[in-house]
Structure 1
Amino acid sequence: MSEVKKVATRVGYAEALVELGKEHEEVVVLDADLAAATQTKVFREQFPERHIDCGIAEANMTGIAAGLSTCGKVPFMSSFAMFAAGRAFEQVRNSIGYPHLNVKIGATHAGISVGEDGATHQCNEDIALMRTIPGMVVINPCDSVEAKAAVKAAYEHNGPVYLRFGRLAIPVINDEENYHFELGKGIVLKEGTDVTIIATGLCVNESMEAAKMLEADGISAEVINIHTIKPLDEELVLSSAKKTGKVVTVEEHSVIGGLGSAVADVLSEKEPTRMIKIGINDVFGESGPAVELIKKYGLDAESIYKKVKAFTK
Structure 2
Amino acid sequence: MSELIPPHSRRKSKYAPRKAPDTRLATSAMIASLDAEGRETIAAPFGHALAELAQTRDDIVGLSADLSKYTDLHVFAHAHPDRFYQMGMAEQVMVSAAAGLAREGFTPFATTYAVFAARRAYDFICMAIAEENLPVKICCALPGLTTGYGPSHQATEDLAIMRGMPNLTVLDPCDAIDTMQATHAIADHPGPVYMRLLRGQVPNVLGEYDYQFKLGKAQMIHDGADVLFIASGFMTMRVLDAAKALARDGISCAVLHSPTIKPLDAETITREARKGGRLVVTAENHSVTGGLGEAVAATLMRAGVHVPFRQIGLPDEFLDAGALPTLHQQYGLTVDAVCASVKDWLSQ
Q: TM above 0.5, one fold?
A: yes
Q: Which residue of 2 aligns with 1:291?
A: 325
Is contact 1:168-1:290 (8 Å) kept? no
Give the equivalent residue in structure 1 for 2:186.
Answer: 154
Aligned mates of 2:146, 2:71 — CA distance in 1: 15
Q: Does 1:195 align with 2:227?
A: yes
> In the alignment, is the contact (CA less than 8 A) between 1:77 and 1:105 conserved in 2?
yes
| Secondary structure at the counterpart of residue 146 of structure 2 | helix
| Equivalent residue number for residue 25 of structure 2 | none
State which drifts further: 19-28 or 235-244: 235-244
Counterpart pick for 1:109 among 123, 130, 142: 142
* Paired AA for residue 277 in structure 1: Q
Partner of 1:282: 316
Once the two structures are superposed, the pairs formed by residues 76-115 of structure 1 within 5 Å of their partners are 76-115=109-148
| Kept after mapping to 2: 8 A contact 1:81/1:109 | yes
Distance in 1 separating the partners of 2:209 and 2:341:
35
Q: Deviations over 1:31-65 (max 9, x none)?
A: 00111111111111111110001110001111100
Which residue in the other structure is 2:90 paired with?
57
**Native 8 Å contact 1:85 1:126 kept in 2:** yes
Deviates more, 1:206-215 or 1:31-40: 206-215
More deviation, 82-91/285-294:
285-294
Q: Which amino acid aligns with 1:214?
A: L
Q: Shift in Å at residue 169 of structure 1? A: 4.4
Q: Which has the higher contact order (CA 8 A, sep 6+)?
A: 1
Does residue 172 of the first structure (1) align with residue 207 of the second (2)? no
Q: What 5-or-longer segments of structure 1 have no aligned partner?
A: none
Identity %: 38
Which of the pair is proportionally richer in helix? 1
Q: Deviations over 1:88-143 (max 9, x none)?
A: 0111111111111110001111111212x222101011111111111111111100
Residue 182 (str. 1) matches residue 214 (str. 2):
yes
- Tell me if the contact between 1:85 and 1:107 (Cα under 8 Å) persists in the aligned partners: no
In the alignment of these two chains, the number of paired residues is: 309
Of 41, 44, 63, the residue aligned with 1:6 is 41
CA RMSD of aligned residues (A): 1.7
Q: Within 2, Cα distance between the matches of 1:7 and 1:309?
A: 33
Distance 2:219 2:209 in 1: 17
Distance 1:77 1:6, change over 3 A: same
Deviations 1:276-295 (A, max 9, x none): 11111112122212222112
- In 2, distance between residues paired with 1:181 and 1:212? 23
Aligned to 1:300: 334
CA contact (8 A) 2:209 2:221 kept: no
For the 8 Å contact 2:175–2:198, the answer to whether it is kept is no
Partner of 2:17: none
Among 19, 26, 30, the residue aligned to 2:52:
19
Where does residue 309 of structure 1 map in the other structure?
Answer: 343
Closer, same or farther: CA 167–296 of 1 in aligned 2, 3 Å: farther
Runs of 4+ aligned structure 1 residues displaced above 4 Å come to 167-170
Q: Which amino acid aligns with 1:143?
A: D
Alignment partners' CA distance in 2, 1:246 and 1:159: 36
Contact kept, 8 Å, 1:114 with 1:167, in 2: the verdict is: no
Q: TM-score, normalized by length of structure 1?
A: 0.95
